[in-house]
Structure 1
Amino acid sequence: MAGNSRFPPLFDPSSSVRCRLRDISCDLAPPLRFLPNGNDDAPSQYPARSCAQDPDCAGPPGRYCSGHATGSADISPRRAPRLTLLLLAGSGEAPAIAEGLSRRGIACAVWRAPGARLAADWPVPVATGDLGRCLSDPALTAVLDASHPFATDISGQAARACAARGVPYCLLRRPEWPRLPGDRWTPIASEADAPAHIPAGATIFLATGREGLAHFADRKDAYIYCRQIGAPDGPFPLANGAYLIQQPPFAVEEEIALFERLEIDWLVLRNTGSTRAVTKLLAARHLGLNVAMIDRPAAPPGIRCAATTKEALEWAAAL
């Protein structure tokens, strides 16, 4: 059966080195400005590395994906930045936003959940640790939330903290994928509801990450594939399925060939609106596959939203 197929590992997790400034935890303090790559006047603060990307959180080609040493830090007081902004990462746009902030001379730090894989070598300091501590830092003057579209806990916490302190907050909220005539979508309110909408005997491509496998623990009548870009922590947790180890990007033609090879008839997908993840949806549309489309959570009420990287940077520059 096609369900027993496995792809050879294409990614060495040992090559992933967390990009992190020495002695910086989640404090936003000393103002930093980064000089362009190639400056040899001062030692680099980061080692060269190859970035480890997940399918929906990948840095753009070149600067973020080539495995390079970043530029040097200039902490001269005469170049003190005019703003201290916290960028919450997790979306595919976050590296480009960090680059844009750096080019505009906007002092910022980037934060992502502890233990999460960073998508890039960042041109700004990386804040790690408890988000609440970062949000309460006296140096914080604005928050630009470019976290994953489904990271509702992060966005909610940040929005509430900013409202309480009177700190400007903006959420990057890209447009959702539209449903087109002929699409075989089943709208799903939450990821936990997906198994109830899929019939017995289905071969499923689960595109929500390995955390979503727990929802299918009782679906022994279906076969489930879950794609990973790095070696998993352990064996596949279900008796009826397998991991696929592959590295993005994935072209539409490659996704079509993969779905045909594995005899997929159901795709479980979150409506992130991502231009990188859309190739799975386009492949399913081409093949006429059923799609369990998980609705995006509503944004926190009464907040400022930006639909694009450009809008987000314009908001930050206007502060």
Structure 2
Amino acid sequence: MTSRVLVLGGTGEARRLAAALTDAGVDVVSSLAGRVAEPVLPPGQVRIGGFGGVAGLVAWLRAAPTAAVVDATHPFAAGMTAAAAEASTVTGVPLLRLQRPGWTARPGDDWRRVDSLAEAAAAVVGFGSVFVTTGRQGLAAFADVPGHCLVRSVDPPAPPLPRRATVLLARGPFTVADERALLRRHAVEVVVTKDSGGSMTAAKLTAARELGLPVVLVRRPPLPPGIPVVPTVEAVLARIRSCAI
């Protein structure tokens, strides 16, 4: 096994990977962006806050010799993923992308895929009640949406918010029963979310399908070319054990 692995990201997969590597005797440093006020911390060493762009990450990797970097950030953390790819090229430190698969539509789903939050906002014009679950970043795109917006995020979002907004602070996972009750209570007519994948927040998709509601789904940004991508923690461990990262 390697001497030190830098794990980027505060996702559930990142925490599970840090725990597995720590149990295997690997020196793990987990880096969290610091966007959540009270993050769930993984085992091992933790640093909170960005590196200061590509130059800062390169400097850190050179100052703290690292055998591998695993980018386990959120699928929409495109800036950090791009920085990790460039820093890997500059330093020669191997990089692996741990990314959960996106969601797959099932019979009965009415999904309307878009490429950006701006397109998502345009797609919900005409609906009277919108459930916005895209996180607290980027809500400015919905500032001019005429309908009522139920906004859910872990921490209080900063303005600008939708002109008619109700903010719900909550952290997943959520059950289908709770999501179905929430959609009914607020008379939601359309759900907006990012294709983050995974089970933590997938219950709203099931609830929307059961209630016959459309879902506006923002596609993931493309990954930088050439990065090896694996879908599970187990696949990362296998790569590291075989030194094939």
TM-score, scaled to structure 2:
0.89
Distance 1:189 1:236, change over 3 A: closer
- Runs of 5+ consecutive residues of structure 1 not aligned to the other structure: 1-80
Paired position in structure 1 for 2:118:
192
Matched with 1:104 is: 24
Greater CA drift, 134-143 or 206-215: 134-143
Could you say what secondary structure the match of 2:33 adopts? coil
Q: Could you tell which deviates more after superposition, 144-153 or 234-243?
A: 234-243
Rg larger in structure: 1
Q: Which consecutive residues of structure 2, in runs of 5 or more, have no partner in the other structure?
A: none
Partner amino acid, structure 2, of 1:308 = T
CA separation of 1:312/1:117 partners in 2, compared to 1, >3 Å: closer, same or farther?
A: farther
Output one character per residue of 1:137-187: Cα deviation in whole Å (capped at 9) or x when no partner: 221221001101100100111011102222111001211111223311111
Which residue among 170, 174, 198 is the counterpart of 1:250?
A: 174
Quick one: distance in 1 between partners of 2:159 and 2:224?
37
Range that drifts further, 276-285 or 127-136 = 127-136
2:42 matched to 1:122? Answer: yes
Question: Are 1:88 and 2:8 counterparts?
Answer: yes
Match of 2:148 in 1: 223
Aligned-partner SS, 1:210: coil
Structure holding more helix per residue? 2
SS in 2 for 1:263: coil
> Does structure 1 conserve the Cα–Cα contact (< 8 Å) formed by 2:114 and 2:216?
yes
Q: How do 1:89-238 residues align onto structure 2 when only pairs under 5 Å count?
A: 89-117=9-37, 119-131=39-51, 132=54, 133-136=56-59, 137-138=61-62, 139-219=65-145, 221-230=146-155, 232=156, 237-238=161-162
Output the aligned Cα RMSD: 2.0
1:304 maps to which residue?
228
Higher normalized strand content (fraction of residues): 2
Counterpart CA distance in 2 for 1:167 and 1:234 is 37
- Give the TM-score taking structure 1 as reference length: 0.69
Aligned counterparts of 1:117 and 1:314: Cα–Cα separation in 2:
33
Equivalent positions of 1:45-64 (< 5 A) are none
Q: Which amino acid aligns with 1:168?
A: P
The residue matched to 1:300 in structure 2 has which SS?
Answer: coil
1:273 to 174, 197, 204: 197
Shift in Å, 1:115: 4.5
Gap change, CA 1:161 and 1:244, over 3 Å in 2: same
**Distance apart, 1:117 and its partner CA:** 4.2
